Chain A
């Protein structure tokens, strides 16, 4: 599904990522973990086209997407959520999700301004589908609220709903459990599994070890910009290098 090959990213003189390679299996839930500053978010930013890597390639379903612009990736089925929750704050919850369907619709400025019949039909469809996604994530009753006034946990859910609306093959979540309480984290774990069951591959960067060990099939550990280990949750838990990196031994 997603393959990273020798990704290196240098900021000025600082090496943020060094020769990182791994693959994400189709239909898996893969966790990317590591101490602060390990380069996890940088990795996500490279995959989603917000940064350009210094060397290395990213492949999505065998297609080299290394130099693709961010806005081209949604159409190819790759979407992400953000660590700090990037919502469209002044728009309603429903409208946020409707933007998720942007690449699934095509009405332009002209047909929108003149409300041509095709546009009206499409608009109705977008609305229905968006409501469907809000029901999927259990936010149906908040549809008309302003997104900016949502509590943090609901904002996270909305961001995921919006990403799902784009009909992705793979969704990248940047610390989806950050700022959530334990009950919300538990619900999130359920939702992540539900997303995978619907046929979407999930990659998450996460600090919450319980969540990662609980939901992930495969884990990649980064430390100081390098890949330290890769394997099943059990392998990782028993890996002496990983333990050393986290506990600061060695």
Chain B
């Protein structure tokens, strides 16, 4: 079992090394810029995956938490000269409290009803982002958000921002991997498979669901804050229902209940729009189609598809070795 833990750690280290060295192999800032958004979306996807992939609770309103993080950070730092990192922490805490409070009534619902409730929450927040013009700037957006800085070090170019985002992303991934392989992770998956059996075994399902909903919201809020500081301009259209569906598509395509799957899905869906531009606003139809096809033909997501391909390959190689040994 120690070897399994070591294997997990090794995979993470290789992944982290690849992520941290990627900028050195990239030509031009365009790809680097895309990878920054891959990082942000990975964070969001991992957060949503903890909720949906592990605990089995759907949220169609996660873009709202992303938006709340972004607007809280954006509004405060654009108006007042306060330490932005402190604001990020406060925004995250604030979103966490809100998620915890609304989580209690919402997570009593199951299935379609939960989907509707979270959808409703997302839409309400979207309306608030649009209508509180004095604070958010309304549909035309909020500008003048300062870049993050540590002392005289300003995160104002793609190179800096890449490392800023990815250090957060890698931390979120590592913590989530740890969580998924712990007593809490098992309890979450138990709730997913059979809530009644989990409760009989003493898992306090109701509170645990609210807790993981909160964790998930906090991760989204942090991603939102980083997004605001990197873009320096935010508008409600980034935080609507459309984006919630996109996040959902990411984890279904990448793999429900897989942290690396979240990354895979986030990477594909972040880069895909560049190719989907020809479809313009029809891209949500493409997402829908992808969701349907994935759930029909590859319910475990691409990551499980990859895993089975690896298994077949290693079995083939093993067999070939046996054949060689025999001759």
Task: Specify the main secondary structure of chain B where it touches its partner.
Answer: helix
B186 and A99 contact, CB distance less than 8 A = yes
Which B residues from 157 to 215 make CB contacts under 8 A with A? 175-176, 178-179, 182-187, 189-190, 192-194, 196-205, 211-212, 215
* B18 interface hit (Cβ, 8 Å): no
A79 and B182 contact, CB distance less than 8 A = no
**Contact partner of B199 among A70, A123, A166, CB < 8 A?**
A70
* B1 interface hit (Cβ, 8 Å): yes
**Contact partner of B187 among A74, A102, A119, CB < 8 A?**
A102
Known A-B contacts A48-B200, A80-B200, A162-B201; the reply to A88 vs B179 at CB < 8 A is: no
Known A-B contacts A102-B187, A109-B179, A112-B182; the reply to A79 vs B200 at CB < 8 A is: yes
Within the complex, the shortest CB–CB distance from A73 to chain B, in Å, comes to: 8
B182 and A107 contact, CB distance less than 8 A = yes
Known A-B contacts A99-B190, A112-B178; the reply to A88 vs B196 at CB < 8 A is: no
* A103 interface hit (Cβ, 8 Å): yes
Q: Which residues of A are found within 8 Å of B212, using beta-carbon distances?
A: 109
B197 and A86 contact, CB distance less than 8 A = yes
A79 and B1 contact, CB distance less than 8 A = no
Of B176, B193, B204, most buried by chain A (CB within 10 Å of CB) is B193
B182 and A71 contact, CB distance less than 8 A = no
Q: Which residues of A are found within 8 Å of B202, using beta-carbon distances?
A: 71-75, 102-103, 166
Q: Which residues of B are found within 8 Å of A122, using beta-carbon distances?
A: 183
* A114 interface hit (Cβ, 8 Å): yes
Nearest residue (CB) in B for A76 is: B202
Q: Which residues of A are found within 8 Å of B205, using beta-carbon distances?
A: 71
Interface footprint category on A: 35 or more
Within the complex, the shortest CB–CB distance from A81 to chain B, in Å, comes to: 9
A86 and B196 contact, CB distance less than 8 A = yes
* A67 interface hit (Cβ, 8 Å): no
B178 and A99 contact, CB distance less than 8 A = no
B189 and A103 contact, CB distance less than 8 A = no
* A234 interface hit (Cβ, 8 Å): no
* A151 interface hit (Cβ, 8 Å): no
* A117 interface hit (Cβ, 8 Å): no
The complex places the Cα of A73 from the Cα of B185 at a distance, in Å, of 21
* A55 interface hit (Cβ, 8 Å): no
Nearest residue (CB) in B for A89 is: B193
The complex places the Cα of A107 from the Cα of B186 at a distance, in Å, of 12
- How many residues of B are counted as interface, with CB atoms below 8 angstroms from the partner's CB atoms? 30
Q: Which residues of B are found within 8 Å of A86, using beta-carbon distances?
A: 194, 196-197, 200
Nearest residue (CB) in B for A162 is: B201
The complex places the Cα of A109 from the Cα of B198 at a distance, in Å, of 17
Q: Which residues of B are found within 8 Å of A113, using beta-carbon distances?
A: 175-176, 178-179, 182
B201 and A100 contact, CB distance less than 8 A = yes
* A59 interface hit (Cβ, 8 Å): no
A91 and B193 contact, CB distance less than 8 A = yes
B196 and A112 contact, CB distance less than 8 A = no
B204 and A71 contact, CB distance less than 8 A = yes
The complex places the Cα of A107 from the Cα of B204 at a distance, in Å, of 14
Which A residues from 154 to 191 make CB contacts under 8 A with B? 162-163, 166
Which A residues from 89 to 124 make CB contacts under 8 A with B? 89-91, 95, 98-100, 102-103, 105, 107-109, 112-115, 119, 122-123
Q: Which residues of B are found within 8 Å of A100, using beta-carbon distances?
A: 201
CB within 8 Å of A: which residues of B?
1, 175-176, 178-179, 182-187, 189-190, 192-194, 196-205, 211-212, 215, 257
* Contacts A/B (CB < 8 Å), 29 sampled: A48-B200, A71-B202, A73-B200, A74-B200, A74-B202, A79-B200, A79-B201, A82-B197, A86-B196, A86-B197, A88-B190, A88-B197, A89-B193, A95-B186, A99-B186, A99-B201, A102-B183, A102-B186, A102-B187, A102-B201, A102-B203, A105-B183, A109-B179, A112-B183, A113-B175, A113-B182, A115-B178, A119-B183, A166-B201
4 extra A-B contacts, CB within 8 A, seeds A87-B193, A103-B202: A75-B202, A98-B183, A102-B187, A113-B175
